[in-house]
């Protein structure tokens, strides 16, 4: 898919810039024609000479280049490309992009292009998880930019570990091929959820007892993550607040990772306002009243130590009763093992939700951790029964139903 495709590679300033040299080789192996734009920061890590030797073409570094700008070079770069690829993309560059700043050649190209843009972030884990970066990424995704990575691992410059490593060159080249094979026509109608902000929770929470033990449940996060992916596919700007799960983050979604119910509530509140909130996480009802500083050991008496529990905050009820920031549509989940509809109706009323997605999670159903789900949509208007479906299909139908509801409300 890359044969004779023109790829403008923007290299910004970070230690991961050294990977761009291998990325150029991977792209050219697949037949791409690569033109490189380097920021001043990038030139502190690798040289234009090295980049030009690998691209076999001129390397662009300055916006006010008399020779290149005689024919408005930055516009030509932006329009002649089939794909704009940013690798590595620093927090600084993404902040400029999200605010439409064009104070150098790289940002001018990005503001002038109408072609697909693929972003490969690379930065310190604290910078990646900072609320400002999260907001900027969400804005760029809502604007239609695609992202690859970052990955988890050890940071080259600090020895820290976490999410922030640039995706590997072969992963980025694969993503570039996918984008060029899947890029939709710009004549397609607007996506049904374009301009909407969806706030979604997913997965379990882990409530620590001591440094090695915690209270949890069997939620896999598959349903919540599938809903986030479906909403993003329909054009929504999606913030996903996820508890600890073993599945990858959905593409095109701003993800906030948390551990406990209190952390999840804080992240949810921070992400408001939203047009729609879908509380799909299986939040632990209880936590230990105090976390042991050390691993709790047997004392030889044969008696277990006392474990005092306190109630966790109710995230759905907190959002449902919020005077200022309650979303236009609030959807809760009721995972029950008995009295499904009775419990769902009670939750709908007590927590001021608009809809409750009720499902039976008894062990024999295989719903917790499984790939299929049987749900009932409970609302003030009545009960809607759905057949047993794959969780991705449940997500697609739920998001489509929400889109229809918003349209019917003129919202």
Residue by residue, what is the 3-state secondary structure of the chain?
CCCCCEEEEEECCCCCHHHHHHHHHHHHHCCCEEEEEECCCHHHCCCHHHHHHHHCCCEECCCCCCCHHHHCHHHHHHHHCCEEEEEEECHHHHHHHHCCCCCCHHHHHHHHCCCCEEEEECCCHHHHHCHHHHHHHHHHHHCCCEECCCEEEECCCCCCEEEEECCCHHHHHHHHHHHHHHCCCCCCCCCCCCCCEEEEEECECCEECCCCCEECCCCCCHHHHHHHHHHHHCCCEEEEEECCCCCCCCCCCEEEECCCHHHHHHHHHHHCCCCEEEECCECCCEEECCCCCCCCCCCCCCCCCCCCEEECCCHHHHHHCCCCCCCCEEEEEEEECCCHHHHHHHHHHHCCCCEEEEEECCHHHCCCCCCEECEEEEECCEEEECCCEEHHHHHHHHHHHHHHHHHHCCC
Residue 369 CB: number of other CB atoms within 10 A?
13
Provide mean pLDDT across the span 67-83: 68
Question: Is 84 among the annotated ligand-binding positions?
Answer: no
pLDDT of amino acid 80: 83
Phi then psi for 9, rounded to 5 degrees?
-100, 115
Question: Is 313 among the annotated ligand-binding positions?
Answer: yes
Is a pLDDT exceeding 90 seen at residue 233? no
Question: Is 298 among the annotated ligand-binding positions?
Answer: no
Question: Is 351 among the annotated ligand-binding positions?
Answer: yes
pLDDT of amino acid 177: 87
Is a pLDDT exceeding 90 seen at residue 345? yes
pLDDT of amino acid 65: 61
Question: Is 295 among the annotated ligand-binding positions?
Answer: yes
Q: Comparing 65-69, 175-179, 357-361, which segment has the lowest mean pLDDT?
A: 65-69
* Assigned domain for 213 exists: yes
Tell whether 263 and 400 lie within a shared domain. Answer: yes
Provide mean pLDDT across the span 44-72: 78
Residue 50 has, within 13 A of its CA and on its CB side, a CA count of 17
* Assigned domain for 297 exists: no
Tell whether 99 and 125 lie within a shared domain. Answer: yes
Is a pLDDT exceeding 70 seen at residue 287? yes
Name the average pLDDT for the chain.
89
For CA atoms 267, 395, 215, 212, give the dihedral sign: negative
Is a pLDDT exceeding 50 seen at residue 71? no
Tell whether 214 and 148 lie within a shared domain. Answer: no
Q: Comparing 50-59, 86-95, 152-161, 277-286, which segment has the lowest mean pLDDT?
A: 152-161
* Assigned domain for 189 exists: no
% the chain with pLDDT above 90: 61
* Assigned domain for 378 exists: yes
Report yes or no: 281 and 262 within 8 Å, Cβ to Cβ.
Answer: no
Tell whether 167 and 220 lie within a shared domain. Answer: no
Tell which of 133, 157, 182 closes a domain: 182
pLDDT digits (tens, 9 = 90+) for 371-408: 889 999 999 999 999 999 999 999 999 999 999 999 98
Provide mean pLDDT across the span 111-116: 88
* Assigned domain for 298 exists: no
Tell which of 182, 216, 240 closes a domain: 182
Tell whether 209 and 110 lie within a shared domain. Answer: no
Tell which of 182, 213, 241 closes a domain: 182
Tell whether 64 and 121 lie within a shared domain. Answer: yes
* Assigned domain for 190 exists: no
Provide the CATH number for the domain around residue 22. Answer: 3.40.50.1950
Tell whether 90 and 203 lie within a shared domain. Answer: no
Q: Comparing 259-263, 333-337, 347-351, which segment has the lowest mean pLDDT?
A: 333-337
Tell whether 48 and 88 lie within a shared domain. Answer: yes
Tell whether 154 and 214 lie within a shared domain. Answer: no
- Check residues 75 and 158 and name the one with the higher pLDDT: 75
Is a pLDDT exceeding 80 seen at residue 157? no
pLDDT level of residue 79 (50, 70, 90 thresholds): confident
- Check residues 185 and 281 and name the one with the higher pLDDT: 281
Is a pLDDT exceeding 70 seen at residue 66? no
Point out the catalytic residue in the list 124, 151, 217, 343. Answer: 217
Tell whether 14 and 92 lie within a shared domain. Answer: yes
pLDDT of amino acid 368: 83
pLDDT of amino acid 190: 63
pLDDT digits (tens, 9 = 90+) for 180-200: 876 544 444 568 898 899 999
- Structural domain boundaries, residue 162: 6-182
Provide mean pLDDT across the span 74-78: 75
Tell whether 271 and 348 lie within a shared domain. Answer: yes
Active site includes 308? no
Provide mean pLDDT across the span 238-252: 91
- Check residues 314 and 155 and name the one with the higher pLDDT: 314
Is a pLDDT exceeding 80 seen at residue 70? no
Q: What total number of domains does the chain contain?
A: 2
pLDDT of amino acid 1: 66
Report yes or no: 27 and 174 within 8 Å, Cβ to Cβ.
Answer: no
* Assigned domain for 343 exists: yes
pLDDT level of residue 73 (50, 70, 90 thresholds): low
Question: Is 347 among the annotated ligand-binding positions?
Answer: yes
For the ranges 59-68, 129-138, 152-161, 265-274, the one whose mean pLDDT is highest: 265-274
pLDDT level of residue 36 (50, 70, 90 thresholds): very high
* Assigned domain for 187 exists: no
Question: Is 93 among the annotated ligand-binding positions?
Answer: no
Provide mean pLDDT across the span 25-37: 91
Provide the CATH number for the domain around residue 321. Answer: 3.40.50.10300
% the chain with pLDDT above 70: 93
Is a pLDDT exceeding 70 seen at residue 411? no
Tell whether 220 and 115 lie within a shared domain. Answer: no
């Amino acid at each position: 898919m890359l044969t004779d495709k023109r790829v403008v590679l923007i290299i910004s300033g970070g230690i991961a810039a050294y990977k761009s040299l291998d990325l150029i080789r991977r792209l050219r192996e697949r037949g791409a024609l690569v033109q490189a734009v380097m920021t001043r920061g990038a030139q502190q890590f690798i040289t234009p000479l090295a980049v030009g030797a690998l691209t076999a073409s001129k390397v662009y570094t300055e916006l006010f280049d008399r020779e290149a700008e005689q024919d408005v070079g930055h516009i030509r770069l932006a329009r002649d490309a089939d794909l704009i690829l940013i690798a590595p993309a620093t927090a600084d560059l993404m902040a400029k992009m999200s605010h439409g700043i064009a104070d150098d050649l790289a940002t001018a190209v990005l503001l002038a292009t109408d072609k697909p843009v693929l972003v490969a972030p690379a930065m310190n884990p604290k910078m990646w998880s900072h609320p400002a970066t999260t907001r900027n990424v969400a804005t760029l995704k809502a604007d239609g930019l695609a992202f690859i990575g970052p990955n988890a691992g050890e940071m080259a410059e600090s020895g820290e570990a976490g999410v922030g490593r640039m995706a590997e060159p072969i992963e980025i080249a694969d993503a570039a091929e996918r984008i060029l094979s899947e890029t939709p026509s710009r004549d397609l109608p607007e996506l049904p959820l374009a301009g909407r902000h969806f706030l979604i929770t997913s997965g379990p929470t882990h409530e620590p007892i001591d440094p090695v033990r915690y209270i949890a449940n069997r939620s896999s996060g598959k349903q919540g993550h599938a809903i986030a992916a479906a909403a993003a596919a329909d054009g929504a700007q999606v913030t996903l607040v996820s508890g600890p799960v073993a599945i990858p983050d959905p593409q095109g979604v701003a993800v906030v990772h948390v551990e406990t119910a209190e952390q999840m509530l804080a992240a949810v509140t921070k992400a408001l306002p939203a047009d729609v909130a879908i509380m799909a996480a299986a939040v632990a009802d209880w936590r230990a009243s105090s976390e042991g500083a050390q691993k709790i050991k047997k004392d030889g008496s044969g008696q277990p130590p006392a474990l005092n529990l306190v109630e966790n905050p109710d995230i759905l009820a907190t959002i449902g009763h919020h005077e200022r920031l309650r979303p236009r549509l609030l959807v809760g989940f009721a995972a029950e093992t008995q009295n499904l509809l009775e419990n769902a109706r009670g939750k709908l009323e007590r927590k001021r939700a608009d809809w409750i997605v009720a499902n039976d999670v008894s062990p024999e159903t295989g719903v917790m951790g499984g790939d299929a789900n049987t749900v009932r949509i409970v609302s003030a208007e009545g009960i809607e029964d759905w057949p047993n479906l794959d969780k991705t299909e449940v997500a697609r139908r739920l998001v489509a139903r929400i889109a229809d509801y918003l349209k019917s409300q003129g919202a």
